[in-house]
Chains A and B, each alone.
Chain A
Amino acid sequence: MTAVTTAAPPAAAPVLMLRDVRKRFDGVRALDGVSLEVGAGELVAVVGPSGCGKSTMLRAVAGLLTVDGGQIAAGGHEVAGPGLNVPPERRAVGVVFQDLALFPHLDVAANVSFGLRRGRGQGRVAEVLALVGLDGVSARYPHELSGGEQQRVALARALAPRPAVVLLDEPFSHLDRNLRTTVREQTVQVLRAAGATGVFVTHDQEEALAAGDRVAVMRAGRLEQVGSAEAVFHRPGSTFVATFLGEADFLPGRRCGSLADTVLGPLPVTEPGSGPCQVMLRPHEVGLEPAADGDAVVTRTEFRGASVLHHVLLADGGTLRALLPHTAPLAPGTRVAVLALVEHPLAVFAG
């Protein structure tokens, strides 16, 4: 079930490399053989449910914990491996912490210059503050800034020493929803402008899909799938990845070549084969037509603002969900005909 479809590694030599990294906490495998390569200037989003080990992975890369096995290399230097554990202060890895961890006793300039060698500070401080768009605040203290500004100071501080890799641990979770998207876009822009290589951890699928060049889906200490946002969303390697990244239903069917025969008729699938299978359909790929002689029935609806999610009971006893525009909601009890709105082959799983 853990079909790891590692996307083609980046062309240039990886800036960050994890190979079979392991870490146990009191018998629990927090990292159970994690391998990942991140190329120069790439931004990888690591996403997974809470407790899956994604923050542990960041801490392992930063050197904030000692791994039990495997290798880590950052910026072309091995930093962790058999008999080797470079302390965090010598790893050239920058971190933006979940709670930002701005030093409350230092002003913005001193925070940003914390990681710089003495005397070389001022020019670089001004440079990174300009990069994050915070020119005028260098004499202020963290508590005098807004949440979004604090976020940018933390980013500037992490970037100032020109680390090989920047790690961001749930960097937007402390912001309220409205601000989050804006700050996320700014952050991605800044990372791009700085040419930084980054890994950021989130439990928010939308965030991962929107911001990462590649998305790594993590579960129980393992990377289940690594690939582009489109790949992991439309061609999930496992039902876990499929359901974690968005709502998904599975239609039982029988595969015959590149088509699967289901209750909705023959559907194109990504992987040809034969025998019983499960075809993944996301709610936006399902259409409903009111029909007096329809063999499916709407059981309940969920208002989602711009659209309405319909739960549908199929003739064979299975269920599906369909996302319809809010202009055309169907009342529970309505008999409907169900159709698959597919422009591309659907993900398919054996069984």
Chain B
Amino acid sequence: MRQDGRRGWRLVVAGVAALVVVPVGLVATSILTPSTGVWAFLWRTTLPGQVLTTLVLLVCVVACTLLLGAGLAWLVGRYRFPGQRWFSWLLVLPLAVPAYVLGFVYLGLLDHPGPVQTALRGWFGVDVWFPEVRSLPVAIAVLSLASYPYVYLLTRAALTEQTAATYEAARVLGHGPLRAARRVVLPLARPSLAAGAALVAMETLTDFPTVQYFNVQTVSVAVYQVWNGMYDRVAATEIASLVLMFAIVVIALERVGRGRARFHQTGGARHVEPVRLTGRRAWAATAGCSAVLGVAFVVPVVQLVAWSTTTALRTSGSGGLDARYLSYLVNSLTVAALAALGCATLAVLVASAGRLGGGAASRRLARLATVGYAVPGPVVAIGVLAVLAGADRLLDAVGLPGGGVLVTGTLVGLVYAYVVRFLALAYNSVDASLDKVAPSMTDAALTLGAPPRQVVRRVHLPLVRSGVGVALVLVTVDALKELPVVLLLRPFGFETLAIWVNQLATESRWELAGLPALTIVAVALVPVVVLFRRTLHEPADSGLR
């Protein structure tokens, strides 16, 4: 047999899939192992409450994002009002503000010493009533404002795909606009809504730093506390498996929510004619969009700018920038770049293997290799810890200096976890790019005598350059603003901008956190503006014509 080359490619994909699946699998199988004392203790004390809180948080955040995201998408997609074209893509901007940044900005603004309450006290006396800021409802509001764009984007896309025919059919069959929306448009958008809701739920499960600002105790917080406080990996793994169970339920619900019906619509480039709103209703629409945009994006950015300037002015005498800023920025960029390179390399390999190794097996493995995005960050992080602990033991066994070096001493774990988490992002953009390269291109290179490795280097790589570029940008940005995983997996003493922001926020030093947080938002804006503006604008325009 001289088919080795092809089998080699299948092995590459299988290896990448294993890389992704093993950590998650280790967390999952920990359910089967006997419980530890810590677990038993937690289960008697705090865990049941945390499970309940997680449930409430998930349900409320998903409900709010569905209302907010789908509502705004409907408003912007089906009506015309002043500023509608602008809002169509501006409403995506909050995607650039991580929840933990939004969270601490509102803590700084609304908490007792903050400007809002201070002003209120000035006007109404020191006894003025104000709702508790560090509470579950505020956490729900912050997480919803930070993650509604996922639902918004997916619903927007679903609405633009829908052709006018079905909606008009419902109208001539005697349904009013709202009833037609409920009976035709909404069911057709259901898969997108389900996907959006699942995405939001995963983000919510991942995000323990933000809820911690608001004293909300979820199971993900428990994972962090057990690992960070006790360094009890086994107990942390057991709690992480609880998080994983939540995730599995979410995925199952998403499948159910997607339903069995077919949602593809054939042909019909014509879209539903948007309804022009007039008078008070038009201004109400504009005001509604402005309010969401203001609260979720403008206010936090302005506040961050204000805090940054205050800090800059105060430190201008002593040389301006905080010295830590640059070194943490370099750390952030280093990790993000390593993750991006890792993801892009694996993405090119896996996508190419789909071609060169051929067969359905490769494609199934590729899908397996990209499940990481659907696994909450703490699960990935704890799973990676388990893998590294095993590797450490292996190093010890062969007499190399192990002793937990991999677990706590290097960036290996962090980069590994990011690759697991973000490989899907990279793979999707590279694969979409490769899809546009005709299969005959690969065949041509092979028949001209280029072995598969050369085909990748000389043909695939140059032709998917744009996809690789997008993959690099997306992963870099996501890794740079990511907080939960880096909190769990950073090597001892290793600080990034996100960690610094989190630390300053926990210490209520809002002003100092301004500049690093603003940096993160600025970086995160790049893909939002460049990618989503384009993808949103084109269909929106054709919808108006």
Contacts and interface: CB of A to CB of B under 8 A. Distances in A.
Interface of A: 59, 62-64, 66, 83-91, 93-95, 97-105, 114-115, 157-158, 161
B contact face: mostly helix, strand, loop, or mixed: helix
B446 A101 contact: no
Interface stretch (B131-139, B436-444, B536-544): B436-444
In the A-B complex, the 6 residue pairs with the closest CB atoms: A115-B448, A101-B440, A101-B444, A88-B446, A97-B440, A105-B462
Contacts of A97: 440, 443-444
Interface string B456-482: 001100110000000000000000000
B6 interface: yes
A161 B446 CA distance: 13
B47 to A, nearest CB: 51
A91 B447 CA distance: 7
A87 B447 contact: no
A98 B3 CA distance: 26
Given A85-B3, A114-B450, A105 B443 contact: no
A98 B444 CA distance: 11
Contacts of B445: 103, 114
Contacts of B6: 87
Instruction: Please classify how large the interface on chain B is, using the bins under 10, 10 to 19, 20 to 34, 35 or more.
Output: 20 to 34
A94 B445 CA distance: 10
B280 interface: no
A201 to B, nearest CB: 14
Contacts of A100: 440
Contacts of A86: 2
26 contacts: A59-B443, A62-B443, A64-B443, A64-B447, A84-B1, A86-B2, A87-B6, A88-B443, A88-B446, A89-B449, A89-B451, A89-B452, A95-B444, A97-B443, A99-B438, A101-B441, A103-B444, A103-B445, A104-B463, A105-B463, A114-B458, A115-B448, A115-B449, A157-B444, A157-B448, A161-B449
B445 to A, nearest CB: 7
A138 to B, nearest CB: 17
B5 interface: yes
Contacts of A90: 2, 449
B441 A83 contact: no
A115 B463 CA distance: 18
Given A87-B446, A114-B448, 10 more contacts: A62-B447, A87-B451, A88-B446, A88-B447, A90-B2, A99-B438, A101-B441, A103-B463, A115-B448, A161-B448
A91 B444 CA distance: 13
Contacts of B463: 103-105
Given A84-B2, A104-B463, A89 B446 contact: yes
Interface of B: 1-3, 5-6, 438, 440-441, 443-452, 458-459, 462-463
Contacts of A89: 446-452
A85 B2 contact: yes
B450 to A, nearest CB: 6
B438 to A, nearest CB: 6
A212 to B, nearest CB: 21
Nearest to B2: A86
A85 to B, nearest CB: 5
Contacts of B1: 83-85
Contacts of B448: 89, 94, 114-115, 157-158, 161
Contacts of B451: 87, 89
Contacts of B449: 89-90, 115, 161
A91 B443 CA distance: 13
Nearest to B461: A105
Contacts of A99: 438, 440
A66 B441 contact: no
A84 B446 CA distance: 18
A304 to B, nearest CB: 36
B441 A103 contact: yes
Contacts of B438: 99, 101
A87 B5 contact: yes
Contacts of B452: 89
- Indicate the member of A84, A98, A115 with the most B CB atoms within 10 Å: A115
A79 to B, nearest CB: 10
